[in-house]
Structure formats: structure tokens, C-alpha cells
Amino acid sequence: MNQQAKLKFVAQELGLSSFDQMQGTTRNVFDTLVNTNAANQSFDFFKNVGQRAFPNTNISDNRFQVNEALLVEYINVYKTTLDGAGTAVVGIEALEGPVYGELVIGNQGVLKDIPFDVVSQSNTDKGTTNKGFYLAPLIGIVIPPQVEWTFRISVQDAQGAATGANGHPRIGCELYGTGVLLNLKQSL
């Protein structure tokens, strides 16, 4: 079953009759939280996301609007890096140590204790290798409209200095996949 078919199937099961008339898209949502630099910590991404603003998140609520949804295909977990002065975020990189994730949609855990693996990406043009993000390729889990959702990770190792030069002040999470956006198909 492809992504569009899965989205239509879920919409049909939920009684969302106009879902197939909405705009399809590729979508990502992300959220970042402050790293307290403690070993064995948990981070609840997208919870109380309305209290943060861009560039720390790109959404204002952890529930999609009517006729919006996301079929999650990848979950990326990362930490930010600072410039030499320790003041500006200049990049993102993989976390150290074991990382486990849990996706909760509504009050139901749909993924529990999934391990994340580091992926290395080579850039042959520049002769460099980047340590990639932790990736969790999924078959496709649909986050339907109007249902709250969160993603929690458990990190079993400290992630570096919380502040200062070359520190890692924030931990981030991105959900990526096929999305559905509201499409009124009329002028307002």
C-alpha cells in the first residue's frame, strides 16, 4: 500500500469523507528543546509546542487542523551545535549513546522503545563524511487531524555541554513524510 492509499484508508476508517479532496504534499514538522546536559534524560517533543516559536519549532499546536494529516515515514533526532563563540547555532549532528523513541497519538502509544541508529552520509564531491541523524524508517504511521500527539525520546548518555563553545544547547526532533493540507478549492 503506498502513502496516498494508506492516508485514504485511515480517512475512510475515521469517517473523513472529504480527505481525498485535500492537497497532498511532502511535509516535515520539527521541535527543539533545551538540553540540560544530564545523563539518562527524556525529552517530550511537540508537548506544549505553542510555547515555542520559530526557529525552535515550525508548528504552533501538536494537533493538525481539520482535513490535515501526516503519514510519518522518518523520524530524525539530533542536537544543535554552536559556533566558536558559543552564541549562534551553526549546525546539527547525531546524538551520542543509545536513543529510544515513543510516538503517542491521542492516548495510545503507536511506537514504543524504537531504537535509533546513526547514519553516515558521504559527500564524494567534497571528500567529506557527515555523521547523519538518527533515522527510524517506518512503514507509515498516520497522525490524523484534530488528535494530539507527542514524541518522547530517552537518551542514555550526556550530550555535551549545555552552553559555551562547541556546546549542544538544544535537542531536536523532526517528523517527515507525506502530508495532507486543507484545500478549499474555492476563492474566499
SS3 of 115, please? strand
Give dist(CA 24, CA 29) in Å, integer: 15
168: in domain: yes
Mean pLDDT, the chain, whole residue set: 76
Query: In this structure, are residues 24 and 178 in contact, taking their beta carbons and an 8 Å threshold?
Result: yes
Any domain includes 82 = yes
In percent, the amount of the chain with pLDDT more than 90 equals: 22
Residue-level pLDDT at 77: 86
How many structural domains comprise the chain? 1
Question: Does residue 110 form part of some domain?
Answer: yes
- Examine residue 187 and state whether it is found in any structural domain, yes or no: no
pLDDT tens, position by position, 131-185: 555 566 666 888 988 999 999 998 876 565 444 445 667 888 999 888 887 666 6
What digits encode the pLDDT tens for the residues 87-146?
677 777 777 777 888 999 999 998 888 887 766 555 455 554 445 555 666 668 889 889
User: Does residue 188 form part of some domain?
Assistant: no
Helices (H), ranges, the chain: 3-14
Assign 80 a pLDDT band (cuts: 50, 70, 90): confident
Residue 186 lies in a domain: no
Q: Return the pLDDT at 35.
A: 82
**Residues of the domain holding 61:** 3-181
- Is residue 126 included in any domain, yes or no? yes
Among candidates 79, 82, 89, 97, which has minimal Cα distance to 133? 79
